[in-house]
Every structure is written in C-alpha cells, then in structure tokens.
Structure 1
Amino acid sequence: MRQKRAKSYRKQMLVYHHNFKFREPYQVLVDDQIVCDTHKASFDLVKGLQRTLQAEVKPMITQCCIQAIYDTKNQEVIDLAKTFERRRCNHPPKEAKSPLECLTSVVCIDGVNKHRYVVASQDPKIRSTLRKVPGVPMIFMNRSVMVMEPLSRTSEKLSSDQERRKLYKGLNDPLASGTPGAAPQEKQPPNKKRKGPKGANPLSVKKRKAPPLSHPTVAQSSSPANSSQEKSDVPSSRRKRSHKSSHKSKVEDSSNIPSGPVSD
C-alpha cells in the first residue's frame, strides 16, 4: 500500500511540476496545528515532508502561525517552530491574524498560487478554502501517516485546459506556457521592406583596374645610356630585312657585265 501511495504522489507532483512550474526544493508552509500534532506524536515533520513529496523541502512558517504557537506556551514546540524559515505576511505581531486568514493571504495572490507554496495544515477549514485556488498541493496528518490530498477540481480543470492548449496550439504558444493567468505576448509587426532605387548588380559592374606600381628603378633606367645598353642586351624578336638601296646596287653591277664575247 505504501508503494502505491508513493507512486500516486509522484504523479501528482509531476502535474504540479509541468503545469504549475513547481521546482525543488519545494516551499512548504506549515500551520500551528500540524507542528503541535507532529511534536506530540514524536513525528519528524521535515523528514515526513521529504518522504511524502519525494524531494528536498524548505519548511516555512508565517509570523501569525508562530504567534499562535507562542500562545500555547509549549517551549519545545516554540523551539521547533523557530528552526523553520520565517515567511513575512506583513501582519504586525500585536495584531496577528488567524492562521486561516494569514495563509490565505500569503498563498492566494490574485487568485493564483504565485509563489508555488505547498501547504501542510491540520485545519480542515484552511484546506477547504485553499482547494479553490488552482495549483496548491496540500498535506495533512492522518493518525501517524502523512497524506497528500489528490488534485482539487480547480487544479485538475486548469491542468486539463493547459494540456489541451498544448495539443492544439503547440508548446511555444504563450497561453500554453504553464503559468496560470499568463497574458499572451503581443505580436511584433513584421519588418517592412525598404522601397527606393537599388544599387547596381555587382556581377554586371566592370572591375576597376589596379594602378601600375611605381618602382624606384624606373627613374634610373630612363637615362639614354641605360636605355641603349638595355636595348642592346635584349635580343630583337623581329626579322631583319634587306634594304632597297643594297638591292639596287647589286642589280646595277650585274647589268654592267657584258653579255657577249669582247672584241679586240
């Protein structure tokens, strides 16, 4: 029976984890009655909370609840309550509220469990009041066994609505973010395209030629002596042509030679 109960508690905390964004260590608000009852039964309250929630816990108590423990004048219970973290409820000690009013004002903020508290209370009025707030896990003592209440109708309805939104609208939808009462984010207007003349196509533009590099040897080679020497050293690739004057002189010499025999 203990394994079945632990398995059901694990499933409930997974629902609070995914749909209501609960994180470890869980913040557990305790009232005055559960502190007195666990001390009377010699029950370790912190270990019992850890065993029930199956995770690390941070027990907390409000100023009004600890003021109600002061009224019992039980020093051992007062010392036990002082070991818990003090939660400010903004109620002065001289005008302390009842645990019902104090826990309701701390847990229910705008109809939502904003700070994600787990409530451990022995008062049935506190539990019945906080069942109307979605996403509030509640724990109480049944004889010597610590028990977690099942999901309330309000929490179950909100959880099913969120699962339905995730199914139809996707996980990135702001309404399916998991925070109850989350407002949808405003859509940003799309960026408008800039109108006006566009530049030339870079593929059709002719590339600029790089300017010739100026070397210091150019000025020295501009002198006529150097230029003639360089011309003589560089072999000419042109074909040499015979001049017309030399060709005519050869023709005239050949014409002066007598063709017939010479007479004495």
Structure 2
Amino acid sequence: MPKSKFKKFATVKKIISPSDPRLSSAQEKLERQKKRQAERLAPVEAPKVQSTMFFSHNEALGPPYRIIVDTNFINHSIQRKLDLVQSMMDCLLAKCTPCISDCVLAELEKLGPKYRIALRIAKDPRFERIHCMHKGTYADDCICNIVAKDPVYIVATNDRDLKRRLRKIPGVPIMYIGGRTARRYNIERLPEALGAPRT
C-alpha cells in the first residue's frame, strides 16, 4: 500500500513548556552563580573602632560601672543566692549600677510565673532602665546593638552564644558566674588598672 500524503491526526511538535522543571533549575543555577560573583566583588565594610579602644581594653570604662544584665545571669544569681548589686561591687571593688533593657524585661515576663522572683529583682529601683526603639524582643541582639553603639557598659551574662558574639566587639568586658559551685562573679577583658580582680 502506498503511504498517504496526509499528516497523521493529532501529531504535535514537542516543545518544552515554560513551566518545565528542567528550565527552572538551569535558571536557578545561573542566578546562584551571579549572586556568588556579586558577593565576591562587593566591597567589605569593616565596622569603625573607636580611638579609645586599645586591643581588647576599653579606656572609656571606669567607675562607677554600668553593667547590662542578661536574663540568665539573673536566674543563675538567684540559684546561687547571690545579691546582684553587692556581688558586682565585691567583684569590681567599685560602685556599680546594674542596667536592664526593655527586651530583657519582656523576656522575663514571657517566661511566666516560674521566673517571678527574677522579674521582681529586674524591676528593682536600683536598676537603670535602657529603653529600646527596635522591633522584636530578642534580648541578645538588643544587648549587642547597645554595646556596639555605646561601649561604656560591662555585660553580665552566662550565655555562651552571647559571650561569643560579645568577644567579636572590641573593648566589651564580660561578667559571668564562674563554675557550677562558684559563688562569686568573675570578669574577663577588663585590665587590672581599672579594678579587675587579680586571678
């Protein structure tokens, strides 16, 4: 039989549709490569360090010390039955003003009735309030921002992650409660000339 000259019914040329996953993956790869190249070529802006800083020491610090207190520092102090203000003064041998940010207070309020003693201590009139103007109530970010803008504070915390972040900011001394059985505060990155205890 001779072949018919007519086209087969319902035959269509195969064309890749724009929503085909093979096309999108190729486009995503190109976009990723462009982003990587842009990141490599982008200028890196290092944060400006104030002239009062000398290596890890901050010459702007001096008595009376202003100490920003973190949530877990208050909790650890309660567990070890330490009076915050008196223990700070014993550690630094100078007058100390504990400071607390709105974010730390909000964090304590969120923790509920279990932490009511810590909240009562935080609302003590001897504590200086630092008002926050940013969105959210994440205390670690708040403390890092305060200290980076105005390095006249010592930060009291037992949080490892926050300590790691604070060590990247030059000239910020960190107060902590040393060891599991220790019943006194310790301080790091504060020179002995400014009152740091000899270890």
In the other structure, the counterpart of 2:143 is 103
Alpha-carbon distance in structure 1 between the residues aligned to 2:79 and 2:58: 36
State the AA in 2 paired with 1:56.
K
Which secondary structure state, in structure 2, belongs to the residue aligned with residue 122 of structure 1?
A: coil
Q: Which amino acid counterpart does residue 42 of structure 1 have in structure 2?
A: K
User: What is the CA–CA distance in structure 1 between the aligned matches of 2:168 and 2:99, rounded to whole Å?
Assistant: 22
Gaps of 5+ in 1: 1-14, 156-264
Report the counterpart of residue 134 of structure 2 in structure 1.
91
Query: If the length of structure 1 is used for normalisation, what is the TM-score?
Result: 0.46
Considering only aligned residues, what root-mean-square deviation do their CA atoms show, in Å? Answer: 2.3
- SS of equivalent to 1:140: strand
Q: Secondary structure at the match of 1:108?
A: helix
| Mapped pair 1:76 → 2:117 | yes
Counterpart Cα distance in 2 of 1:40 and 1:19: 31
Structure 1 residue aligned with 2:103: 64
Show the counterpart of 1:25: 64
| Matched residue, 1:46 | 85
Deviations 1:182-222 (A, max 9, x none): xxxxxxxxxxxxxxxxxxxxxxxxxxxxxxxxxxxxxxxxx
Deviation at residue 115 of structure 1 after TM alignment:
4.1
Partner of 1:135: 171
How many angstroms does 1:19 deviate by?
5.5
Percent identical: 28
- Quick check: 1:26–1:58 contact (8 Å CA) kept in 2? yes
Q: Whole-Å Cα distance in 1 between the matches of residues 189 and 146 of structure 2?
A: 22
TM-score computed with the length of structure 2 as normaliser: 0.59
Q: Runs of 4 or more off by more than 6 Å in structure 1? A: none
Q: Answer 1 or 2: which has greater helix percent.
A: 1
Q: SS at the partner of 1:55?
A: coil
Aligned to 1:121: 157
Secondary structure, in 3 states, of the residue corresponding to 1:21? coil
Q: Structure 2: how far apart are the matches of 1:76 and 1:53?
A: 25
Cα distance between partner residues in 1 of 2:91 and 2:68: 15
For 1:100, the aligned partner's letter is D
Distance 1:20 1:101, change over 3 A: same
Count of residues in Structure 1 that have an aligned counterpart in Structure 2: 130
Distance change >3 Å, CA 80–CA 19, structure 1 → 2: closer
Q: 1:232 aligns to what? A: none
Q: Give the letter for the 2:128 counterpart.
A: E
| Unaligned segments of structure 2, at least 5 residues | 1-53, 192-199
Deviation at 1:56, TM superposition (A): 0.3
- 8 Å contact from structure 1 (residues 48, 146) kept in 2: yes
What does the per-residue CA deviation read over 1:205-248, in whole Å, with 9 as the maximum and x for residues that have no partner?
A: xxxxxxxxxxxxxxxxxxxxxxxxxxxxxxxxxxxxxxxxxxxx
